[in-house]
A and B are shown apart, each in its own frame.
Chain A
Amino acid sequence: MSPSPASSPAYQTPNYLNAVKGVGSWLTTLDHKRIGVMYLVLTVLSFFLGGVFALLLRIELVTPGPTIMDAMTYNRMFTLHGVIMIFLFMIPAIPGIFGNFFIPLMIGAQDVAFPRINLLSVYLYLAGAAIAVWGMIQGGTDTGWTFYTPYSTTTVTTVAPVLLGAFILGMGSIVTGLNFIVTVHTMRAPGVTWMRLPLFVWAMYATSVIQVLATPVLGMTLLLVAFERVFGFGIFDPARGGDPILFQHLFWFYSHPAVYIMILPAMGVVSEVVQTFSRKNMFGYKAVAFSSLGIAFVGFFVWGHHLFTSGQSTFASGVFGVLSMFVGLFTAIKVFNWTATMYQGAIQVSAPFVYFMGFLYFLVFGGLTGIALSTVSLDVHWQDTYFVVAHFHFIMVGGTIMAFLAGLHYWWPKMFGRMYSERWALAAAVLVIVGFNATFIPQFLLGNMGMPRRYYSYPEQFWPLNVASTAGASLLGLGFTIVLVYLVVSLVKGRVSGPNPWNSRGYEWNTPSPPEAQNFPETPVHDRGPHEYQDGPAAEVKHAH
Chain B
Amino acid sequence: MNLVNEFLRKLLFLPLQASEWARQLDYLHYYVFITAMLGAWVTLATAVVFMIRFRRKHAEQSTPIVDPKPIHEAVFIGLPLVLFLSYFAIGYPQYVRLQTPPKGAIDVYVQGKKWMWKFAYPGGPNSTDVLRVPAGRPVRLLLTSRDVIHSFFVPALRMKQDALPGRYTQIWFNADLPGRYPIFCAEYCGLGHSSMLGELVVMPPAEWDEWMERERRSNQPQAQDGQPVEAEQVDLRGSLVDQGRRIAAVQGCFKCHTVDGTQHIGPTWLDLYGRTVKLENGKTLVADEAYLTRSMMEPNAEVVAGYKPVMPTYQGKLAAPDAAAITEFIKSLRTDAPTAEPQKGPIYVPVTGK
Contact = CB atoms under 8 A, between A and B. Distances in A.
B131 to A, nearest CB: 16
Interface in A335-370: 335-337, 339-340, 342-349, 353, 357, 360-361, 364-365, 368
Given A325-B84, A455-B194, A456-B193, A347 B56 contact: yes
A381 B155 contact: yes
A75 B14 CA distance: 27
Given A325-B88, A384-B186, A365 B40 contact: yes
A-B pairs with lowest CB-CB distance, top 4? A450-B155, A238-B166, A375-B91, A377-B94
A342 B63 CA distance: 10
B218 interface: no
Given A283-B67, A321-B88, 4 more contacts: A156-B309, A309-B160, A332-B76, A343-B54
Given A72-B191, A279-B56, A374-B88, A452 B68 contact: no
Contact of A328 (B80, B159, B265, B351): B80
B92 A321 contact: yes
Contacts of A380: 25, 95, 98, 158-160
A378 interface: yes
Contact of A503 (B43, B60, B354): B60
B335 interface: no
Contact of A281 (B47, B65, B94): B65
A65 interface: yes
Interface string A245-280: 100000000000000000000000000000000111
Nearest to B85: A325
B87 A371 contact: yes
Q: Chain A interface: which size bin?
A: 35 or more
Contacts of A452: 151, 153, 184-186, 193-194
A533 B63 contact: yes
A151 B68 contact: no
A519 interface: no
30 contacts: A151-B188, A156-B300, A238-B164, A238-B165, A238-B167, A278-B63, A279-B56, A279-B62, A281-B65, A281-B66, A308-B95, A309-B186, A314-B95, A321-B88, A329-B80, A333-B76, A343-B66, A345-B63, A347-B55, A353-B51, A364-B43, A374-B88, A375-B28, A375-B88, A377-B91, A377-B95, A452-B151, A457-B352, A503-B59, A536-B62
Contacts of A328: 80, 84
Nearest to A364: B40
A165 B54 CA distance: 49
Contacts of B190: 75, 142, 151, 155
Contact of A454 (B77, B84, B188, B308): B188
B62 A345 contact: no
A374 B89 CA distance: 11
A14 interface: no
A287 interface: yes
Contacts of B29: 372, 378
B165 A244 contact: yes
B153 A287 contact: no
B186 A342 contact: no
A488 to B, nearest CB: 28
A65 B349 CA distance: 10
A264 B165 CA distance: 37
Contacts of A517: none
A170 interface: no
Name, among B63, B67, B349, the residue most crowded by chain A CB atoms within 10 Å (CB to CB).
B63
Nearest to A332: B80
Nearest to A350: B56
Nearest to B98: A380
A317 interface: yes
Contacts of A190: none
